[in-house]
Chains A and B, each alone.
Chain A
């Protein structure tokens, strides 16, 4: 396995290493992680597939420009800790991003091998390096710069807030994170399920930040418990970063949506992940009893996949994805779609719900749906789904989960009128600094972009941290 003396031809002959995973039949009844991670041998073999391009175009596909060629070479050479540290120069949450990034649209899409062969499994390798470091207890606390005497408040503890706090505390600022819920981590905790992202990994990152000195205050809703102006004027913060995510679930506005048994994906996932209702009655929070029931999830994104696979794990007899376009248009990560199919999720494509119907007690009994077909391409070039006349039918379901996206929660905007917001209620920023229209207030992540990705939120948090640092240090001179 001498990585140095291997020809390009030999590299190209190595097949992409399959990620080992739990058996689909078994895992569709448990909440343990689906993917088991590469072995050392697999990781090194996969790393050897990388031809170490002179112009590593994969890097351009990564929103935070991880030095992909370099960390992969370190893995090939057996220097796994070195690889983890190389990644961490650009990405503070590699164990998380390695698991949840839509690699096929990012780094792996631009990898030169993607066209003729299969791309290097960059995400799997990133995960391997980060897991290796953590599991061997070798995570080194970074050095913290001398205290600057400046105070920064971070609102929200999702990936945007965490990465911003992490950078700022290392630069010597006193950082306090305010989180609305009783638990830290944002969507990483209450949205993405354990079987895809073990909560232990998220908590390990947060513990590391606590050791660096970040102060976390849970149960604190900015806009209600305390306003942005109060933090600036009364509590003496020198700057504020807002990373409150996109947390206002959209409904479809069709009849019957308030019947019993109709949930938003947020509510369903929050009950199960945050409130642990899969352990009812040991945990008090109840959730619809899916056992032997038919469950339909409306939508085609990652959230929809998480919800439908969760329903299956809670015992659903039939668990459907109902999506109005075709599978090719589904925004979910490919791997999740693949895993969902292996687990027996039924995909009903080109189908649009018109109405929910219920019984005497107002419990949901079915979704009236219309079949669609693909028509002419629209402005975006995507073929637009058009209804097939007279194709209405009732899909019998006991539970419906709406997963068509989230808007932004307007609490902060309403209580801080001098922050400019868009028509969609997202916060407007200068994308080079993440500065809002209000002096000393920055924002990033889903509250700025609308529902996007973990890595983009993280990148935004770091951009803001750099700008805040520059501003605070200039002010200090």
Chain B
């Protein structure tokens, strides 16, 4: 059992959870994730390590309630425990001094991009962050992102805060303004990552995305997380999760992620009956 030392909502349905996991806290690098199992009958699900405190021996996860497993986790409070956590898994982000690096996060993808943005800054890059949300209340990690950015932009779909529009429009605006961009990291919903890849493709800018296929073990043992990159099959949990955006078959990824939709709906419905706790802020 692994103890939760703090759990706070950052926005509606998005919770930051700090868990005791000293070995992971000591070893993790930007871009890596953990597999967790909330309770004894729960699924194993992957979550990116958003932050860690090696001294305190804790790691932080930022979780968006999607279905049963993430909502079950978001029902947990300080002092509760989760059954299993294993990591750090996945190949760490490739970090070097690229020059000007743009980190783009969509929704909870902002949390996944955050540790890599920190590492890019530490490596001496000029860091631009663009973080998108549907509306103002859903913007997360704004102060943290500002702290690591040379330029920080927020976009909202409804225009309630920051730039009115999508992250890709902001990126295009930067490119149109004649800015030289050497590296782009994009993490968020599949349509967003695919759209970013299309924006940078004509410019030949190195663009990396963090893929979110369905995982089981997270150690390379099952092949369930396979993605098609450059017409080759890769296991995202060990070969990734980060890949060259211009080579990823996004269609295959988004199709495969629909594999268990009826079952996921059933689990979520049953959970809604079971859990009376308000998972929202």
Contact = CB atoms under 8 A, between A and B. Distances in A.
Given A182-B37, A251-B233, A362 B86 contact: no
Interface string A439-462: 000000000000000000000000
A266 interface: yes
A260 interface: yes
Interface string A247-280: 1110101000110110110110011000110001
B1 to A, nearest CB: 11
Contact of B87 (A225, A275, A281): A225
B221 A284 contact: no
Nearest to B85: A219
Given A260-B259, A266-B223, 8 more contacts: A220-B86, A225-B23, A257-B233, A258-B233, A260-B256, A281-B267, A284-B267, A286-B267
Contacts of B135: none
A366 B252 CA distance: 18
B4 to A, nearest CB: 16
A263 B224 contact: yes
Contact of B220 (A182, A247, A270, A282): A247
* Interface of A (DSSP majority class): loop
Given A219-B84, A271-B216, A275-B216, A260 B221 contact: no
Interface stretch (B40-48, B136-144, B180-188): B40-48
A210 interface: no
10 contacts: A180-B217, A181-B217, A247-B220, A249-B221, A251-B233, A258-B228, A266-B222, A281-B263, A282-B41, A284-B43
Given A257-B233, A284-B41, A221 B256 contact: no
A225 B88 contact: yes
Interface residues of B, number: 41
B22 to A, nearest CB: 11
A276 B27 CA distance: 31
Interface of A: 180-182, 218-221, 224-226, 247-249, 251, 253, 257-258, 260-261, 263-264, 266-267, 270-271, 275-276, 280-286, 288-289, 361-362, 409, 411
A285 B223 contact: no
Nearest to B42: A284
Interface string B259-281: 11001101100100000000000
Contact of B44 (A218, A260, A266, A275): A275
A284 B68 CA distance: 8
Contact of A225 (B27, B221, B224, B238): B27
A285 B222 CA distance: 14
B255 A260 contact: yes
A471 to B, nearest CB: 28
Contacts of A219: 84-86
B233 A409 contact: no
B43 A260 contact: no
Given A218-B84, A219-B86, A282-B41, A225 B24 contact: yes
Nearest to A253: B233
The 10 lowest CB-CB distance pairs between A and B, nearest first, are: A286-B263, A267-B222, A219-B86, A362-B255, A264-B223, A182-B84, A247-B221, A286-B260, A267-B224, A284-B43
B233 A226 contact: no
